[in-house]
Amino acid sequence: MLAYATTPLSTTLPITDYRVRGEEKKMKKDKAYGNKYWESEKGEMIEIGPRSAIRCFDIAGKLQIGTILKDRETGEEKFIVKFVIDRNELCSSFQGVAYLRGLLDEWEEMWEAEQDDD
């Protein structure tokens, strides 16, 4: 049988002002990164569409996939990372490399066949 606390939640959880909770959310949003490889290594970026790109960091072993957006205030283009593939994780997985290689080969063949049809 499970034992449940008999203390009301209002006495165990602190009530905080919404502004304080907002600061907590902001702190969580400002992630603490241990290895900021993007600051110590210049990645190679390749645009793969009008608003998409991939950026590779060979030394760190990271492949970033993201979106290119214009900053509303400055007009500068920014690369927004949506996903990161880690080389160590991919290569140590049972099927990761083979699956990705096969998928890319298949997509290339499909694309070439579509171009031949045109």
What are 14-38's pLDDT values in tens digits? 555 555 555 555 555 556 667 789 8
Q: Give yes or no for a contact between 39 and 62, defined as CB atoms under 8 angstroms apart.
A: no
CB 40, CB 53: distance < 8 Å: no
For the chain, what percent of residues have pLDDT higher than 90? 56
List, for residues 83-102, the tens digit of each pLDDT value: 999 999 999 998 999 999 99
Q: Report d(CA 26, CA 23) in Å as an integer.
A: 5
What is the total count of domains within the chain?
Answer: 1
Range of the domain at 78: 9-117
Note whether residue 2 is domain-resident.
no
pTM of the model: 0.67
Strand spans (E) along the chain: 44-47, 52-57, 62-70, 77-86
- Of 38, 35, 70, nearest to 55 by C-alpha is 38
Place of tokens 């645009």: 47
**What local confidence, expressed as pLDDT, does residue 7 receive?**
43
Mean pLDDT of 64-93: 93
The reply to whether 4 falls in a domain is: no
Q: Is the pLDDT of residue 60 over 90?
A: yes
3-state secondary structure 27-52: HHHCCCCCCCHHHHCCCEEEECCCCE
Q: pLDDT tier at 3 (50, 70, 90 boundaries)?
A: very low
